[in-house]
Structure 1
Amino acid sequence: MGNSNSSSVDHRFISASRAFTQKKLDDLKSLFVSLASNSQSNDQYVSYPVFQEYFGLSGSLGERMFDMVTQRRKDDKMTYEDLVIAKATYEKGTDDEIAEFIYQTLDVNGNGVLSRSDLESFLVVILKSVFSTESSDAESSDYKKMVDALLNAATFSKSDDGSEKGMSFEDFRSWCSLVPTIRKFLGSLLMPPSTVRPGYQVPHLLYEDSVSSDRLLLKKEYAWHIGGALPHHELVEWKLLYHSSVHGQSFNTFLGHTSNTGMSASVLIIKDTEGYVYGGYASQPWERYSDFYGDMKSFLFQLNPKAAIYRPTGANTNIQWCATNFTSENIPNGIGFGGKINHFGLFISASFDQGQTFECTTFGSPSLSKTSRIQPEVIECWGIVQASNEQDTKHNAMKGTVLERFKEDRNMLKLVGMAGNSND
């Protein structure tokens, strides 16, 4: 039996090694030796505490990931072979293999069904990891709302008696497509924490001192969620361009504040009188057109009571709408996204006091609110500040070897005994 298991591991290791260049394997070996040394294991294995500290994984998420990486042996020992096999499957595998690895990591009971309570506990860990703070009561409340909103986007199967069973693998994959920032986070667990680690990036929100943060619709948790569908260079700073209760609920004022800003992309957020919060990411400026315009980078999203993102399906190119001072009924004045004229995925009329949100094939989205006819209570627009070339260069530089990517963080390297192995 022992020889059979050893042969199986050897076969998997040989196969996994082919996913990497020799340089990458050397990097992984150096990483393993450094971590094993700090584990006081005579360079034979990495202990869970050292694994947890280096990869920044706490609580149940760290325990489950370590269990998966060590192939569920329950011996508290990660070997070099374990590391290579896990990295090959988790980072170099097919989409199906990676999704299956993540799903099994979250499936605490190992019964092929992910329960709502399990998913909820992992989401709490993720939020605490991303925002890395000893939460105040207010922040804890925001986190709870965000967790509930993310769960509301998930589908859980029912038993014959109507009770909730859990989330199947197929439903998990569908949910991941709606919450890309969660998928990015769960897909980067074997990278040490850093400001450019996928799923960790939260845009810095810029707004005037005279604007109270309590009045803002865009919370940092919402920005993190929306940012999951954006490239890294659009996740540095977002600047408040327009707020209806600050600048006045006026279409012309909106256009005045969002034009000629030097920022082409923006995030439009609406809270309606039903209490629903939703909006859209516009990749192009809000400019006067008599027809749909824009590109496939734009998307719609929900924030509360459900958090989900809906990207273009390719069904049509009716992406973005901005019409003003037209007199034809076939060219409704206002701003919007998707669908078709008078049946938009999201639309706010030029009066800025009414609009609509219908099920939309452009983005594969449902009605974003409780009803298809909406009355905006608050409207916000945030401009996306593009990262500078210097920031892009820094991000690209972080894509080097395992050791090179993180040698700037001297404290972390010293913590795991690696500082002496990195080059200055």
Structure 2
Amino acid sequence: MTDFTAELEDRLLRYCAIDSQSDEDSPTSPSTPEQLVLARLLVQELHDMGAADVRLTEYGVVLATIPGTAPGPTIGFLAHMDTAPQFNATGVKPRVIRGYNGGPITFPDDPALVLSPEVSPALASHIGHDIVTASGTTLLGADDKSGIAILMTAARRMLTEPLARRAPVRLAFTPDEEIGRGVDPRLPADLAADFAYTFDGGAPGEIEWECFSADNAQITITGVSAHPGYAKGRMVNALTLAGKLIAALPAAQTPEQTEGREGFLHLYSLEGSAARAELRFILRDFDTAALATRGEMLRALAAAIVATEPRAAVTVQIRPEYRNMREKLEQDPRPLERAESAARRLGLSPRRLSIRGGTDGSRLTELGLPCPNLFTGMQEIHGPLEWVSLQDMALATELCLTLVQEVAD
């Protein structure tokens, strides 16, 4: 196998240093201008390496073609440019721990923070690997800049060292995946692939083919504002009503109380004042029909508030995000079978997994483009302990290259 680790390290560290965090409150897409900084860099690098049809779409997706050397279906590869908004992503300082020795990893910008096999069990199987982390006060952004580095490295290899047989490849780097806006309805047609894969997964050998069905919900409670000194019989405190709604939520159906194939209802934001309160939820279930019942429960709780306090106004908005991709991949399992075959050619033991989340592939599959999710090596994502192995990323690069041969054979 070719040693891709040096190139992967260079790309990952450069990409992670760019703040490309998405913003759910932004009405634009991409939701932040910083994502376009990374997008324009990728456009330039793709031009420089000789990719064809390179462009940045008006909806913020970088597209490119790697021409095939043999007839066959066109394969799409995707990774997303944004990083998660749940934790600080400004001023990322990536660093490499070479030849990890199995002990605790400390962080220069937060000495109290410790990454170890006890905290992250996957580390125990990575002794001798080169581990990339941030400095302690930010996430790393390997989700999904590891995927970007993998695909850019594979693209450079295909263009400068042509394989004997290679299927045509279409690349797409998307914005706003972390806030559920990564797939514009125009993307499937613009990508023009027969099937695709996101590189946005975890451990080597994992092939994620099932995900949550997902909705986003927003409840807005409008109360009646009054001077607190003269509020009796006048004020309707929106925050008090929000507290009653929260207290009525089923405690056993939260993320911290569920696992495996159990769905959940997650209150992730509460903002407001006595006059107006806004609650935001994500609703998740592997069964799309069961997902609908979670939305109905929120509507019922909102109606109960109005019944007890008719002077309040309560609105519930539920927005679909994506659906369980297994529903479509069971109908056409060929992308899964090709990925499994390519993994076996690399000596890996492929494993079909469910993901308690979603990817751009979830939405693409729903729109008719089959798109399972493949590994990059990222671990402990969305927080300061995030890490990735350069050797795992190299395996993912080999998987990408093997897939384009697999499809052409």
Q: Same fold (TM over 0.5)?
A: no
Higher strand proportion: 2
- TM-score, normalization: structure 2? 0.30
- TM-score, normalization: structure 1? 0.29
Higher helix proportion: 1
